[in-house]
Structure 1
Amino acid sequence: MAVAAGLPGQRGGLTMAGFFQCGRMLMWYFWIKALHVLFVMGWVAAVFYLPRILVNLAEVKAAGEPAAVSARLELMGRRLYRFGHIMFGLSVICGLLLWQGWRMTASLPPVVGQAHWIHAKLGLVAVLFVYYIFTGRRLKKHASKGLPSALQLRLANELPVFLVLGVLYLVMARPF
């Protein structure tokens, strides 16, 4: 935080009132960032677990388990899919607030102009979201079209792990 530079529109140094106002803005920024991380964690949990429910559905049908087990898994999958959409929406809202946060106070760095890592991160998040939608649609259509084998679903289950690792690398290292 550049204390000597002052706030935009002020002459000279930072006044005590300006210092506390800047501190409050930073505190709001960090709260929004914490909420963003929390909502992303909820969404990623849904992204990781929804394909696992598909694997369980494929194994239940192959083993000839009772219909109640399959119905329970379908219900869990639908609820998880809805939960994931809510978490994704809230994380997008918080992400947009973080993106525009630099406009609130001069002490926050601009994100888009200098940081090209965020474009790569958003690209990976878009691929992850398409994967999430794909697994959700597969869950909705599994009764009519059936599911691939459990092995194929297990292999497809590993894709989001690599995408999330890429996102984490970009966020933590900010390579470009």
Structure 2
Amino acid sequence: MLWIKSFHIVFIASWFAGLFYLPRIFVNLAEVPAGSEAERQRLLGMANRLLRFTTMLAVPALVFGAWLFIGYGIGQGAGWMHAKLFVVLLALGYHHACWSLLRKFRAGRNQRSGRWYRFFNEVPVLLLLAAVILVVVKPF
């Protein structure tokens, strides 16, 4: 199971690296000056590729996580694990929100400011912090 745990950690780190960087691209997209279509297209291409790659990294992270959950038999009486699973659902929701926001950028319908995306960019940091604390400290 240690190999599975190692792969889970690597894919989680990789998945979250994408979730950390993608909103930074959104900040730049939101602040592209009018008439800079070449820059907008370049940033859209970067965001598209990063989101596809990040999604491919999320899948093995979730598969290895499920394998650990089943393999270790964690569940009953492990309140920390239920909380961590909730954090995972929030991370998946955030990932989905990134897809939705990128669709709006592609369609030219973004209504949010670069400042908003700077705050949005902090969400995965808080999610990762919560997950790590729950797994390491097991507070309940």
Structure 2 length-normalised TM: 0.91
Aligned positions of 1:11-160 closer than 5 A = 29-60=1-32, 63-64=33-34, 66-102=36-72, 110-142=73-105, 143-160=107-124
Which residue identity lines up with residue 100 of structure 1 in the other structure? I
Q: Percent identity?
A: 38
Separation in 2, partners of 1:156, 1:99: 30
Q: What do residues 47-92 of structure 1 show as CA deviations (whole Å, max 9, x unaligned)?
A: 11111110010111xx346322211111111111111111111111
Moved over 3 A (4+): none
The answer to whether the Cα contact below 8 Å between 1:46 and 1:81 also exists between their aligned partners in 2 is yes
Corresponding pairs, count: 139
Distance (Å, rounded) in 1 between the aligned partners of 2:35 and 2:133: 42
Task: Indicate the structure whose relative CO is greater, using CA pairs within 8 Å and at least 6 residues apart.
Answer: 2
Question: Where does structure 1 lack aligned partners over 5 or more consecutive residues?
Answer: 1-28, 103-109
CA distance in 2, matches of 1:116, 1:131: 23
Flag the structure with higher helix content.
Answer: 2
- RMSD across aligned C-alpha pairs, in angstroms? 1.4
**Unaligned segments of structure 2, at least 5 residues:** none
Closer, same or farther: CA 147–52 of 1 in aligned 2, 3 Å: farther
Normalised to the residue count of structure 1, the TM-score between the two structures is 0.74
